[in-house]
Structures are given as structure tokens and as C-alpha cells.
A and B are shown apart, each in its own frame.
Chain A
Amino acid sequence: MTTAPIHPTSETSIGFGSRVHSWVISVDHKKLGMMYIGVGLLFFVIGGLEATLMRLQLLKPLNDVLTPHGFNQMFTMHGTTMVFLVGMPVLLGFGNYLIPLMIGARDMAFPRLNAFGLWLFIFGGLLLYYSFIGGDGLYGMGGAPDVGWFAYSPLTSKAFSVGHATDYWILGIMVSGFGSMTTAINFMATIVCMRCPGMTFMRMPLFVWLMFTVGILVLLALPVLTGAQVMLLFDRFLGAHFFDPQQQGSVIFWQHLFWFFGHPEVYILILPAFGMICEIIPVFSRKVIFGYPLMVAATLSIAFISLGVWVHHMFSVGLPPWLNSIFAASTFLIAVPTGMKMFNWIGTMWGGNIRFTVSMMFATGFLVMFLFGGLTGIMLAVVPFDWQLSDSYFVVGHFHYVLFGGTMLAVFSAVFYWFPKATGRLLSEPMGKWTFWMFMIGLTLTFFPMHLSGVLGMPRRVYTYQPGRGFELWNLISSSGVPFQIVGVLLLVTNIIKSLINGRVAGPDPWDAWTLEWATSSPPPSENFPKIPTCTSPRPLWDRKHPEDPDCFYE
């Protein structure tokens, strides 16, 4: 092991202040990507603390760790933070860092727009969190938003949400949303225009394909939320009645707008994770991805169908039977391309020579957990079953399996996989293995019992529950998973800090991988490649490493 600095000249010769300054003014996609991920992980810790408080409150029935109002703020901020300030920025950050490297470009198509997007996201996040101080307004109540991350009207109207907490929610999300939209435009422009010679669309790494699809979804879905939020602001301040039932406004209209955004949003959060898994599983299985064209087709069909399933969040709203039936069918349909992906990953592993690094362990954990979350998702698509399960803790269990067991495990897998590329140093494997098992145990303990308390009739978003209904044991077990997850996060943070200081030097290609980002030094120089590479197949580095047997023969 060596502890020599990676950049002896550049890193040591400038002071701390100017180094920070160089990050703040940077338009380099790599620095912006790392800042996205770093700030996202910071918000992940904050959102996790909010969840910890909630699990403390629900440890036993009629507990009084939090007031009802306090609890309602916590679940609103937890959901909003995890979706908008953790999921999206971390995934967009990976896209930012990796897309130009993977397609052999020097930077994104619009570097300044890229920086603008990052700072909008950070500013939006700060604006949302400033509500803890400023949400009171002049009314003496409020604090953080307490209307849920879905902000159903009329709970968000002036009559039921006095003070400015809801306004902070609207504006914070809107501002960071503009950041996400610029980033989506940037992704698509970069992918369409800046691929290196030889990189056709069907030679792009699957991660790039997935991020391209995410770009499309962000552009189609997020403006709908922004529009709905503008209408809500009009309702609150300009006397409009879009969502005001007393003036013949429609509160269901808000639900349609919100979920027209909200369901594609779920895929915005899971598709990049699919992309990461598509890169990581083949490399550690030492096999090419099974069925590349089918993976691309499945991705595009998921994106397409995901725009037509939103009503499955509204099955208990009392919509007509034919409408419920159509949306049940479309929801079932989306299971098919998702299943194809799952099978193709397993097909990649089968017959491989799998190296179980921490990154691969997290990727396998993703498969195991995401499968469970996907199957409970099928149950929720069965409309009559959903009339029982909707808005119960079953749903909370379901989407934590998908978003924590799915997206976040994939993100951890990606952190372990690409950390050496970004910093030049490997993360500690033994510590990583502990992190993995802590998360697996913690996730199962916390989120599996939620399905049971939901089946036993416990609704979501309740600050407390009655004794004697059979909820006690499952909530106790749920809360007992929290310490494992806290240890997991602490281990991960320690690992990152320790490895940054004296981790093992990685070299340009520590995993013997096949995509273009591993063809340059770690960390890559400021314009990525000394000379723009050329691409001959979906695995350009395989072709270079195996000239006797290149992929391009088999396209």
C-alpha cells in the first residue's frame, strides 16, 4: 500500500481557500458530478435522521417522542428530501460524472448550464430546509411543511395550511426541479451530439442508454409538477380556485397532475440504478451483458408505459371501474419489461466467473431486494387488493424495498465501483463488506415488518397507533433495524474519508472493465482523454484487451 498523493503538484501547492474556490467556479462535469453526489449524500444523512426520529416515535403505541405536528413535518421532509434532494441529485450526479467519460467526450454539451443546474439544486434544497426557520411567517405556526411529499389539496390551501411552510415546499422543489430539467436537457444533448467516433447508439453503454431515457422522462414529467405547483401558488396567493373544492375547483385534479409527474418520477429514480447494475454485473461476472438489444427495448418500453400508469396511485379515489381496469392493465404491463431486465441480469451472472467485490455484493443485494419490491408492486396493481393495501404500511414497505433496497443499494454499489475512478483510490473492501451486511440486515428488519403491519390495518402517515391491534411487535422490529442502518452509514462515511486519505491506489482500470471511462487515468485529467478515443463495439476496452476475439465480430 502506498500513501503517495495522486497529484503531487496540483493538490499540495494551492491553499484550502483556493481549492474550495476552484470547486465553486468549476464547470467541469466531473467536479459537478461529485458535488451532486456529495451534497446528495449529505441530504441522505439528514433524511435518515428524520426517519430515525419517526421510528423512535413509532417504537411503541401512543409514544410521545414527537408531537403530531412534529411527526407530520418529519415524514413530509423525509419523503421530499429522499426523492428530490437525495435520489435525483445523486443519480443525476452519477450521470454527470459518467456520461461524457463513457461516450468519450471532453465534457457535457453545456458546461455552464450544468453548473447552473447544480447550484439551483443546492439552492432549492437550502430553501426547503430554511422552512424550519422561516416557515412560521407571521402566523406563529408552521415550521417545516407538514402536508406530505404528495401535498394533496385541499390540505395545502390557505385554509388548512396557514403560514409559509407549504410555500417553501413549493418553491424549494420548483427551484431544484428547474435544475433537474436543465440537467436532463444537457444529458440528452450530450448523448446525441458528443459521442466519440464509432460510438453508435447501439454501442453506447447501457448506463448511458438509461440516463438518456431518464432525460426524456424528466423533461416530460417534471414540468407537469412545476405547472401544478404554479397553480397551487396562484390558489394560495392570487385567489385562484384550481384546487379549491368550495369554489368548484377539483382536488382530484391535483392528484392527477401530481401522479402524472409522480409515477414517472419513480422510474426516474430506478432507471439510473438499472443502468449502474447493467455496468457492474457484467464486469464482475466477467461476461458481456446478456441480451443488450432487449435491455434497450425494455428500457424504452418502461419509460413509455410509465407515462400511462399514474392512476394506480389513485385506485381508492373512487374513479369509474373501466378507468381503474385500464390503469391496472398498464401497470401489470410494466412488470414485463422490468422482468426482462431482471432475467437478463441473472442470465449475465449465469455461466460467469463472479468476483464478489463489495460492489458486486451490493449489486446482488439490489437484485434480491428489488425483486421483492417489484412483486409487492404487482400485488398493489391488483385494484381490489389495492383498496385494502393502498395508503397502508404495506405501501411504505413496498416502496422502501424498491427505492432503498433498489436504488440506494445500486448507488452504494456504484460508489464502490466508480470511487477509484473519481479519486484514484480504492475503498476498503473489508469495511465495505460490513457496510453491506449492516444494510441488508437493517433493511430487512425495518422494511419487511411494515408489510405485515399494513396487512393488519395500520395506515401510513400516522404519528401514533392504538395498542391492541397487533401493530406493536412489527413496529418494534421495524425500529430495531434502524441502528444497523446507522452503523452502515457511519461505516460508509468513515470508509470514504479514510480511503480518500490513504486508500490503496487504484490505477486507471482496477476492475479490468470494458467501458471507456477506464481507458483514462484515475482521476481523469480535466478534459478526460489525452486523445479522443474511438469505439468499435459496446465494449471498446474488451476489443483492445482481446484483439484475437473482439466484440465487434459479433455485432
Chain B
Amino acid sequence: MSHRGALGVQNIFAGATLFLRRANQIYYSTPVSILFMKRIFTGGFLAMCFVVLPLCAPSNAHAATEICSTSAAASSPIAPNGPTILPNIFDPHGPAARMIHDLSWLVLGICAGLFLVVEGMIFYGVLFYRRKKNDQSKDEPRQVYGSNPVEIAWTIIPLLIVFVLALTTVRTIRSIELTEAPAGALKVVAIGHQWWWEYRYMDDSVPGGEVVVANELHVPINRPVWLRLESADVIHSWWVPALAGKMDVIPNHTNHTWFTAETEGLYLGQCAEYCGNQHAGMLLRVIASKPAEFDAWLQTQVAPTVNDTAVAMGRDIFQEYACSNCHTVKGVSDGQFAPDLTHLMSRQTIASGVAPLDPTTLRAWIENPQALKPGCNMPSLQLDPQELNAVTAYLLTLR
């Protein structure tokens, strides 16, 4: 015999009371259930350890293993002074990233609440409405076809929740997505290439009007940076999580993004849109330093090309072989497809952050780029050891 009726609000209260009473009974009656509860709490504790602690861990916990030239002393304008800031979106160091971070805790809180409530309802159903072990009866439970008040409630409540979320979302979009550069911003053009980054400082404050560098973006702290994003080939995405959300770098479609670095240091990130073979090897490095140090660095970049006659053989090889087709060294070559090498030695890394810039690695890179970064566009020129040494020696003078 089945009964019919609506699942009314009073039934939910009755259910909740029943739940508490049964939970109480279970907890204090059988040892098996106590074990079960213990497991739940232990599981929760472990989850806390795995989820919350890593997110709260200090941002430079792993900095030691990241490429960070120690040969360049702290006084040099090249090396970052501060810590290495990992790409953790819960460790913001700029206003755009912080606004997202604050919003994300609200969203996480709401979603965690919903998760607990609904999973709780599922588990309540699983625990208390399962067939008893010895139940052999053919009786069917009461057939409940639905309940208008309850169904309206679980339509309206989610609607209200997403309404709140939508409003906060729109507000944050409007604060972050700017259509023109913030006042006093440093203007830089970032150009994505397969698989490296080119930065062109095009700002009145830049001596000489333009400075071109590759892969390592130097910025002053506490000054907004307005990035114009362009692509030379396919779609890339510029993403340094501690500074700002990602923005795609699209051919024939100029995008902009902005950030303000608030702490000195080396910010890590990487290309976030699949762009072919070496997508994983298209790393991003932003070096934020005090304005005076930044200016000093700018001065090194506008300095004339070093022309050391002791390495003339290396320079000749660089010019005669295919190197000069792709790389620019001001006054020596004007290739456009690969990083500008005029002030190569003012960088810490080569191959878009994949390898440290030291004489041994540089030589190995020139000898066979495919070994260090398989699939990259730089070919091995099959130089003999003597030529290799000469070219390496030449490049090492390009300060």
C-alpha cells in the first residue's frame, strides 16, 4: 500500500530533526560508526593539509630551484632583488590580480557552501533511505510526485545566488578590463612568437624612444604597465598569475592588458594558449625593481653595441652564417624572426626562460638548439668546435 502526498516544508524540518537524532545515535552507539566518523574527520584534516596549506605556503618556498643567476651581484641592474614569485593565483602582487583574488574567495565560499549542502543532502539520502538488510517486503515507499513549494524554492534560491554572483562579476570586469592606459603607465608592446616573447618599450620616458628586448620584461614597481599584445604567428596568451589574469595574444587583433607590480622580485608565468610544439617552453619572466634600478637597466639597453675586436672572428661567423638572418645585433645584423641579441648578456636566461644564460649552456644551445628545446625554430648550423667557441665568445661580449 503506498501513500501519496507532498514533500512540504514541515517534512524537511522533520527530516532534519530525524537526521540530527540519528547522527547522534550512530555516533554514540556502535564502534563501527565511530570509526566511520573518525575517518571522515581524518579525511577532512588531510584534505585541509593538502588543499589549504599549499595555498597558504610562502610564495618563495621553491625559489631556490628556479633559474636565478647568482653571478650577477645584487648591485647589478640585471638581477632581480626581491624573491622569486611563483605563478600562484592566490598570491597576488598587483591590483588586478588582487581584485580577482578577492572575488575568487567570495565565489569559492559560495560554491563550498553549496557543495556542502547538496552533498550533505545526497549523503543523507544514501545513509537514511537505503533498504534495510533484512527487508524482504514487497511494499513500495510512498510515491511523491513532486511539490510545487519545494520546487519553486529550489528554483528561486539558486537564481538569487547566481544573481549576486553575476552582479559582482560585472562590477569586477568593469574595474579590471580597461579600454585605455592608466595615467602614468609605462607602455610596452609584447609580441608573441613561436616560442618566445619580444618586448618593445615604446614610451616617451624611454631614452631614444624605443628599446627592444626578448623574454625578460623589466618593469618599475608601483607604476602601472600597459601592455599592447600582438602576435607574429599563432595565438598565445600572456599570463603572469601574481600580476594579472591572462589575456590572449592574437594575430591581426590587438589586445591590451595592464598590471602594477607592488613588490620587487622575479615574477614567473608562461604562455597559456596552446601555440604548437614548444608551448610548454614559452615561459614568462617579469622582473620588477625600484624605479632607479629600472632606469639603470634601461640605460644598459640603450647603450651602443659592444664591439670588441678580440672576438671579431665570432662576429664574422655570426654575420656570414644564418645567425644574422633571424637575430638583430644593432649595427651588425637586422634579422626579425628571433630575439634581439644586442644586449644578450643583460639577461639571465635563454630559449625563453628554458635554460640559464651561462657560457656552457649558451655554447650547447648554439651547437644544437633541438636538444635543449626540441621542436623550436632555431636550427643547428653544424658549426665546428672552433667556430662554436668563437661565436659563443662573441655573444658573451654583448653586454
Contacts and interface: CB of A to CB of B under 8 A. Distances in A.
Contact of B277 (A72, A290, A329, A387): A72
Interface string B111-124: 10011001101101
B278 A68 contact: yes
Interface in B193-244: 194, 229, 233-235, 237, 239, 241, 244
Interface stretch (A174-182, A184-192, A369-377): A369-377
A90 to B, nearest CB: 25
Nearest to B1: A549
Residue of A69, A329, A371, A384 with most chain B CB atoms under a 10 A cut-off: A384
A465 B268 contact: no
A332 to B, nearest CB: 4
Interface string B67-80: 00000000000000
Contact of A67 (B57, B279, B375): B375
B95 interface: no
Given A324-B177, A340-B151, A384 B253 contact: no
A455 B88 contact: yes
A149 to B, nearest CB: 10
How would you classify the secondary structure of chain B's contact residues: helix, strand, loop or mixed? mixed
A68 B280 contact: yes
Interface in A437-484: 452, 455-457, 459-470, 473
A197 interface: no
A90 B270 CA distance: 37
A506 interface: no
Given A325-B169, A371-B119, A340 B155 contact: yes
Nearest to B143: A288
Contacts of A114: none
B173 A384 contact: yes
A434 interface: no
B99 interface: yes
Given A367-B122, A469-B268, A154 B233 contact: yes
Contacts, number: 311
Nearest to B5: A351
B126 A364 contact: yes
Of B1, B150, B246, which is in contact with the most chain A CB atoms at under 10 Å from its CB?
A: B246
B276 A288 contact: no
Contacts of A93: none
Contact of A391 (B151, B177, B246, B281): B246
B172 interface: yes
Nearest to A449: B50
Interface string A361-386: 00010011001100110110111111
A250 interface: yes
B118 A321 contact: no
Nearest to B132: A353
Interface in B163-207: 163, 165-166, 168-170, 172-174, 176-177, 194
B283 to A, nearest CB: 7
A146 to B, nearest CB: 8
Contacts of A335: 158, 162
Given A459-B239, A470-B62, A250 B144 contact: no
Given A155-B275, A347-B150, A378-B111, A457 B176 contact: no
A387 B122 contact: no
Given A294-B146, A318-B247, A459-B271, A554 B86 contact: no
B131 A467 contact: no
Contacts of B158: 335-336, 339-340
Contact of A466 (B7, B114, B253, B283): B283
Sort chain B's interface into a size bin. Answer: 35 or more
Nearest to B111: A375
Interface stretch (B102-110, B286-294, B306-314, B323-331): B102-110
B276 A160 contact: yes
B275 A353 contact: no
Contact of B374 (A67, A251, A392): A67
Contact of A388 (B89, B125, B141, B278): B89
A152 interface: yes
Nearest to A281: B125
B231 to A, nearest CB: 8
Contacts of A72: 274, 276-277, 279
Contacts of A371: 115, 118-119, 122
A379 B111 contact: yes
B192 to A, nearest CB: 12
Interface residues of A, number: 94
A351 B7 contact: yes
Interface in A532-555: 546, 549, 554
Contact of A352 (B89, B141, B374): B141
Given A335-B158, A384-B173, A390-B246, A459 B270 contact: yes
Given A382-B103, A382-B169, A469-B86, A457 B241 contact: yes
A423 interface: no
Nearest to A372: B115
A452 B51 contact: yes
B64 interface: yes
A277 B55 CA distance: 36
A473 B246 CA distance: 24
Contacts of A461: 274, 279
A356 B130 CA distance: 7
A342 interface: yes
Given A384-B245, A459-B239, A554-B4, A332 B166 contact: yes
B254 to A, nearest CB: 9
Nearest to A451: B51
Interface in A234-276: 245-246, 248-252
Interface in A48-66: none
B154 interface: yes
Given A246-B252, A350-B7, A294 B54 contact: no
11 contacts: A154-B233, A160-B276, A246-B251, A316-B245, A321-B174, A347-B147, A350-B124, A379-B108, A392-B272, A459-B271, A554-B145
Given A459-B270, A470-B54, 5 more contacts: A285-B141, A317-B248, A318-B229, A383-B173, A469-B66
Interface of B: 1-2, 4, 7, 15, 50-51, 54-55, 57, 61-66, 86-90, 97, 99-100, 103-104, 107-108, 111, 114-115, 118-119, 121-122, 124-126, 129-131, 135, 140-147, 150-151, 154-155, 158-159, 162-163, 165-166, 168-170, 172-174, 176-177, 194, 229, 233-235, 237, 239, 241, 244-248, 250-253, 255-256, 268-281, 283, 374-375
The list of the 9 closest CB pairs from A to B, nearest first, reads A387-B245, A457-B87, A468-B65, A245-B252, A462-B280, A291-B146, A318-B255, A349-B125, A332-B162
